[in-house]
Amino acid sequence: MAAHRLSPSLNRLLLAGKYASFWTRCCAVHGYAQYSTACSPNEKTFDKILIANRGEIACRVMKTCHKMGIQTVAVHSDVDASAVHVKMANEAVCVGPAPTSKSYLNMDAIMDAVRATGAQAVHPGYGFLSENKEFAKRLAAEGVAFIGPDTYALQAMGDKIESKLIAKAATVNTIPGYDGVVKTVEEAVKISQDIGYPVMIKASAGGGGKGMRIAWNDEETREGFRFSSQEAASSFGDDRLLIEKFIDNPRHIEIQVLADKHGNALWLNERECSIQRRNQKVVEEAPSTFLDAATRRAMGEQAVQLAKAVQYSSAGTVEFLVDSNKNFYFLEMNTRLQVEHPITECITGLDLVEQMIRVAKGYKLQHKQEDIPINGWAIESRVYAEDPYKSFGLPSIGRLSRYQEPLNLSNVRVDSGIQEGSDISIYYDPMISKLVTYGATRAEALASMEDALDNYVIRGVTHNISLLREIITHPRFISGDISTNFLPEVYPDGFKGHQLEADSRRELLAAAAALHITAQLRSQRVLGDLRVSSSPVECSHWELCVELEEGRHHVDVTKSGKVYTVEMDGVKVEVDGQWNLASPLLPLAINGTHRMLQCLSRDASGKIVLQYLGTSFKVRVLSKLAAQLNSYMPEKVPEDTSSLLRSPMPGAVVTVSVKPGDSVAEGQEICVIEAMKMQNSLTAARQAKVKSVHCKPGETVGEGDLLVELE
Amino acid sequence: MAAFTAALRSGALINGLRASFRTLPPVKYGAVAAAVPPTNLPRGCRWSSASALSVKERIDHKRKTALCGGGQHRIDAQHKKGKLTARERVELLLDPESFVESDMFVEHRCSDFGMEQDGNKFPGDSVVTGRGRINGRLVYVFSQDFTVFGGSLSGAHAQKICKIMDQAMMVGAPVIGLNDSGGARIQEGVESLAGYADIFLRNVMASGVVPQISLIMGPCAGGAVYSPALTDFTFMVKDTSYLFITGPDVVKSVTNEDVTQEELGGAKTHTTVSGVAHHAFEDDVEALLNVREFFNFLPLSNQDAAPIRECHDRSDRLVHSLDTIVPFETTKAYDMLDIVHATVDESDFFEIMPNYAKNIVVGFARMNGRTVGIVGNQPKVASGCLDINSSVKGARFVRFCDAFNIPIITFVDVPGFLPGTAQEYGGIIRHGAKLLYAFAEATVPKITVITRKAYGGAYDVMSSKHLRGDVNYAWPTAEVAVMGAKGAVQIIFRGKENQAEAEAEYVEKFANPFPAALRGFVDDIIEPSTTRRRICRDLEVLASKKQLNPWKKHANIPL
């Protein structure tokens, strides 16, 4: 179905490239047939695979399994019993209660599930047990294949200190730093001084930005040491830390490698992952605008050297920091399938999961290095349930009351493990999906991404679509001028949503006015009621007042057919649309330009919330009379919140550092909230005395819950 | 009546009458107070002394004066309080230019205490009445004018209200009252009291004939409160409206309680504690715009069918999110409002009493454009049990729907009635009976969906098949049983070992929809995602439902 509707540009791409692109959802029926031409249908791998993971990655792995005719077994926690990955699997086993340590990290239960279902192999996805050598060993002991590298590579690359030594030995460029475990705060400070600030403190066992802190001076080193070790302990059960030179303003570029058990290894080009917040990736693309062929080759070859040095098999990723002079330094090797693997699949046409399964069975690689193409461009946006207005994204939770992926568009792939009605809970990663678009050129891929973000319907949880859209349309991003500091540099005062220009502001207000009148007119259409006034005022001209933030505009609206002409400040805006009041999407043509708006809410008193250019705007539309009368209405004074410390997100209270009667200074830590395994220190907004404390360590708190009240 | 005790006590006010009239005394709520304004109208207003004016000029003059209410000074004072004037409210409530005013020339007839002076006569007196349209649909309106004698109720004021109520009854159209009145008019004494009674009588006569809505937009105290109390819906404006029998001063003198107006009878009190008001809005503008929206749901009278508005939401839309909404653990809560929002047209649900007795959810919505009343147990609050307040809340709503031909859709997840001395002493038996009674007597289309628990007597109550439910569905997660497994097993196998095993057996046997389905007590077990589609189709079929209760003078609901 979707395959037949490919845009001309993509068709060109498909014909031009040796490999068809890989789609997850769109091409569920036809897509797989045309992808990966080198696939041999008679190659026997496994009969049944257990996927020791949840969410989108579990679904992703199962899709390939089903394509390859392999039976799948899902494991799940009790709260995930009706999750998508459970429904997709041929069999499902509950492995424990919600907390990950009791379910998805519960090796005993998962081993039991493997035995009970007779799975011949286990795909660990990413996170959880994916890089756990103990797990791999236990599987090996029972003769079950671990779809990933063998335990030696896991161990060697899983430990940051050891991996750095091995990399050095394999003549891979590495970052200056201390090659050992840092034991105490004082030692950390001394080492940091030796290396020279800034330094990076990170968990030896870490990954994914967890347990990672940057320090610019001694004091920050002390604080960072404390936080990182706590986070490391809670996330990985291992509080060992290391310290290294922090490369300021670097790019984060990684090389995908693929190796078999016969000493063959390939590099599948790079992924540019520089757009990050708090060391977690937000937008990735492949290839990178920054690399030239020579650097790409050099990095690829070093990555392969490293893979060979640890007898790596399966898919893996070698992460590099690249400075502005294209010097690159080995950062770490991820011995698993990466979150952002789809963009590599898009530009190379390989199905990495399929390759991992083949390799695990012992087959040789099908490809040679010269077979690996770069076909077009792919971009991935990580759509998270989080509030981007709070430090570029603090987790939010909720139920997806409405959810619609933009799969009606071409060139779009969505990897997700949730559906309408799913809960985003505090127990797991708040990622909603990975939205991938691609095209023959970067510009095409970006244009598709813009469209896809505008067409993505997510209701019930706060999401980061606004941030994603701002990033991919930012001139610096478009020109490829990015680094890992992109977000703090572009938004030094924090992200505040799309900033409207005069034109776009008018467009938005015009759309709101037109929508308001559509709803008003509809209210008059009562079917079959003979008692409705036979001569209703057949109105085609309205005078309205539209308010947005502090601005108030008087607008004149006229209607002819379904086209509204909205005049404000002497400028006319024409708005045309289908005007379906039940649809979350509001496709409009504003002055002839196609715009996809979303109506988030609309109430009787004229308040309309519209998502426009990714950001939601609160607009109020009133008739001229209502607006005039509204000026008599008193301003309702909002609660003074500077004396109230509320939880910025749902999570668990780790520590409370104050008690009633204490005096706190501005910026002093009051308590620490842990959510999604991240510890967040909450500080006093001003100097004050603590009036009351409303939380205890260990308690679960919701977003907006009062924690501490100051006097 | 308590209200009238208050009136007596405030008789003392009359002594200081003359002086205080000049200084605009604060109106004493619950007391019978009326402040006669100073004669500060513009010179030109003193038309009566200029007998040379032609009739036409006098008419124009009267009209002009009527439009000014109590004068600009008073209007400004009204605005300063964040309140609109009576006429502004009517204008905003009704479609543009649809208001047809009646009795603009009516004046009070009191001649005591200087009231007969020209300066103390206002054409139209202290209320604006008439008819108009909301989205083209007929409605009668009265709007009390606080700028004239503090909106106090004179004989003439009451007469005006009675007139439009009589007309509304005659043609079959709703009445909306915008209340903003200090109370009865002291100077008129018993005439004013008679006026209240005349209105009360009409409220009662109109009850169940045409919908009556009260919007409290200022003080409403003493005997006056009984008019809103008799109407179908009472809405309030936050911070500026009060409803009480006696004001804080009287409360202090009688019971020695210190209480503010807001605590005693503000919007928050009545929408969360007393259950007197059905909704509260931020300010006058929001309140009026919301009443317009609310009005769209209502039929004009008991002779009219529930209105059907043009609908953009497909009636056969499958709602996949419902398939996973009921948690696996039977003890875990979920939000019934999620089910309601997902099922109805455009997620548009006008909830009635959203902050009172939250263990039951009631309100209006549409299915394929047609107005329906929704009743649902709310598992999120007190496990969705029925108690005194929720039973009364539900019963009143169900009776309104039945009176006005609005089909009722009931979502059931009820573990039973709330036990305890508080409930028993409070009379849960007779209050719970109200809800049972209301569902049983209702003859409108009744569709019931059991989403999870339907235990014990509460199962019977919640629009069950046995109470003439027209279509009763169960979701696969439904458990229709006398009680939960644990309790049941403790009784059946008292003192026996292997309770756990017995419990499992009970769950297997009863904690599912089969026992009810195989007896025909539910018509079908449906996939939750198809709920909307099924209900829309059923409503089409049931549109021609005819069912009559036996003739009776009136029924005797256990009050």
Q: Provide DSSP, A548-594.
A: ETTEEEEEEEEEETTEEEEEETTEEEEEEE---TT-SEEEEEETTEE
A422 interaction partners in chain B (CB closer than 8 Å) = 324
At residue A224, the pLDDT reads 86
Give the pair of three-digit tokens for residue A594.
């196609």
Ranges in chain B, pLDDT < 70? 1-52
Beta carbons of B292 and A522 less than 8 Å apart: no
Three-state DSSP string of A259-290? ECCCCCEEEEEEEEEEEEECCEEEEEEECCCC
Which residues have CB under 8 Å from A97's CB, separation 6+?
A77, A78, A79, A103
Query: Residue B88: its chain A contacts at CB < 8 A?
Result: 629
Q: Which residues contact A373 (CB under 8 A, 6 or more apart)?
A: A17, A18, A19, A347, A348, A349
Range of weakest confidence among A217-226, A310-319, B283-292, B293-302: A217-226
Gap between the Cα atoms of A332 and B295, Å rounded: 65
Q: Which of B161, B181, B139, B160 is nearest to B27 (CA)?
A: B181
Over the range A510-548, which residues count as b (16 or more CB within 10 Å of their CB) and which as e?
Answer: bbbbbbbbbbbbbbbbbeebebbeeeeeeeeebebbbbb
A253 pLDDT more than 90: yes
- For residues A560 and A542, give the distance between their C-alpha atoms in angstroms, rounded to a whole number: 12
Catalytic residue from among B458, B488, B511, B517: B458
- Active-site entry in B222, B394, B416, B469: B222
ipTM of the complex: 0.89
Identify the pLDDT of residue A536.
55
A459 in catalytic set? no
What's residue A16's pLDDT? Answer: 36
Whether A99 and A79 have beta carbons less than 8 Å apart is answered as: no
Report how far residue A341's alpha carbon sits from residue A358's, in angstroms, rounded to the nearest whole number. Answer: 17
Judge: A605–B290 Cβ closer than 8 Å, yes or no: yes
Q: Residue A266: CB partners within 8 Å, gap ≥ 6?
A: A257, A258, A259, A304, A365, A367, A368, A369, A372
A419/B320 CB distance under 8 A: yes
Instruction: Determine the distance in angstroms separating the CA of B309 from the nearest CA of chain A, rounded to an integer.
Output: 4
Burial label for A325, CB within 10 Å (0-12, 13-18, 19+), is exposed
- Give tens-digit pLDDT for A419-454: 999 989 888 989 999 999 999 999 999 999 999 999
**Chain B within 8 Å of A193 (Cβ-Cβ)?**
no
Q: Please give the residue of chain A at the shortest CA–CA distance from B283.
A: A633
List of chain A residues whose C-beta atoms are within 8 Å of the C-beta of residue B296:
523, 526
State how far the Cα of B412 lies from the Cα of A711, in Å rounded to an integer.
Answer: 46
Q: What is the least distance, in Å, from the CA of B358 to any CA of chain A?
A: 20
pLDDT value for A676:
59
> In terms of Cα–Cα distance, which of B141, B227, B132 is closest to B183?
B227
Read off the pLDDT band of A23 (50, 70, 90).
very low
Beta carbons of B328 and A622 less than 8 Å apart:
no
Residue identified by tokens 């993971």 is: A53
A90: buried, middle or exposed (CB in 10 Å: 19+, 13-18, 0-12)? middle
Helix (H, G, I), strand (E, B) or coil at B394: helix
Q: Where are the alpha helices (DSSP H) in A26-123?
A: 31-34, 55-67, 84-88, 107-117
Nearest residue on chain A to B173, alpha-carbon basis: A531
Q: Among residues of chain A, what percentage have pLDDT more than 90? A: 60
With bands split at pLDDT 50, 70 and 90, how would you rate the model's confidence at A538? low
pLDDT at A238 over 80: no
- Encode pLDDT of A492-512 as tens digits: 999 999 999 999 999 999 999
CB contact under 8 A, B283 and A81: no
Asked whether A565 and A540 are in contact (CB, 8 A), the reply is no
**B307 near A CB under 8 A:** yes
Query: For tokens 């006398």, what's the residue?
Result: B482
Residue of A nearest to B96 (CA): A537
The pairing of strands B471-474 and B212-216 is unpaired
Averaged pLDDT score across all residues of chain A: 87
pLDDT for the residue numbered A420:
93
For chain A, give the percent of residues with pLDDT over 70: 91
- pLDDT confidence band for A26 (50 / 70 / 90): very low
CA angle A251, A256, A262 (to 5 degrees): 150
Say if CB A21 and CB A346 are below 8 A apart. yes
Q: How far is A173 from chain B (nearest CA, A)?
A: 51
Please report the pLDDT score of residue A201 as a whole number.
86
Q: Which residues of B touch A583 (CB under 8 A)?
A: 312
A627 CA: distance to closest CA in chain B (Å):
9
Each residue of A85-143: pLDDT tens digit?
Answer: 999 999 999 999 988 989 999 999 999 999 999 999 999 999 999 999 899 999 999 99
Q: Residue A95's pLDDT is what?
A: 96
Using pLDDT thresholds of 50, 70 and 90, give the confidence band for residue A459.
very high
Q: pLDDT tens, A678-707? A: 677 787 777 788 888 888 888 888 878 888
Q: Report how far apart the first and last C-alpha atoms of chain B are (Å, whole number).
A: 19
Token digits of residue B377: 């147990």
What DSSP state is assigned to residue B186?
G
Please give the backbone phi and psi of residue B350, each rounded to the nearest 5 degrees, phi first: -95, 100
Amino acid at A340: E
- Helix (H/G/I), strand (E/B), else coil: B523: coil
Contact A88, A74 (CB under 8 A): yes
* Distance of alpha carbon A111 from alpha carbon A117, whole angstroms: 10
Most A CBs within 10 Å, among B79, B285, B316, B544, to test the A interface: B285
- pLDDT at position A622: 96
Give the model's pLDDT for residue A175.
Answer: 84
Judged against a pLDDT cut of 80, whether residue A179 lies above it is answered with: no
Q: Which two tokens stand for residue A191?
A: 């080492």
Q: What is the pLDDT of residue A41?
A: 60
